[in-house]
């Protein structure tokens, strides 16, 4: 069986399709980061949970929604 899939490499290095930038944590320890995909700035995202792992999880979910043509404002808020 053949499956069609979109593979997106993401991380903090410039060799990735999507780059996490300006990773910080607010006064509550919640992650704040910028996300760029293939040179396009998708914006700044602020999470309501702490931890670097949650930043990576959120980035994966955001990128999945983005390539699935879900409106950016739907998942940015």
Please write the tens of the pLDDT for every residue from 13-35: 999 999 999 999 999 999 999 99
Residue 52 pLDDT exceeds 90: yes
Shortest CA distance to 20 belongs to which of 70, 63, 50, 72? 63
Mean pLDDT of 5-15: 94
10-11: strand order across its sheet: 10-11, 18-25, 30-37, 40-50
pLDDT band at residue 11, thresholds of 50, 70 and 90?
very high
* pLDDT at residue number 5: 85
What pTM does this model have? 0.89
73 pLDDT above the threshold of 90:
no
pLDDT of residue 77: 59
């Amino acid at each position: 069986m053949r499956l069609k899939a979109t593979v997106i490499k993401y991380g903090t290095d410039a060799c990735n399709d999507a780059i996490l930038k300006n990773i910080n944590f607010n006064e509550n320890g919640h992650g704040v980061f910028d996300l760029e995909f293939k040179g396009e700035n998708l914006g700044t995202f602020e999470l309501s949970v702490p931890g670097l792992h949650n930043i990576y999880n959120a980035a994966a979910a955001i990128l999945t929604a983005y390539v699935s043509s879900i409106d950016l404002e739907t998942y940015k808020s």
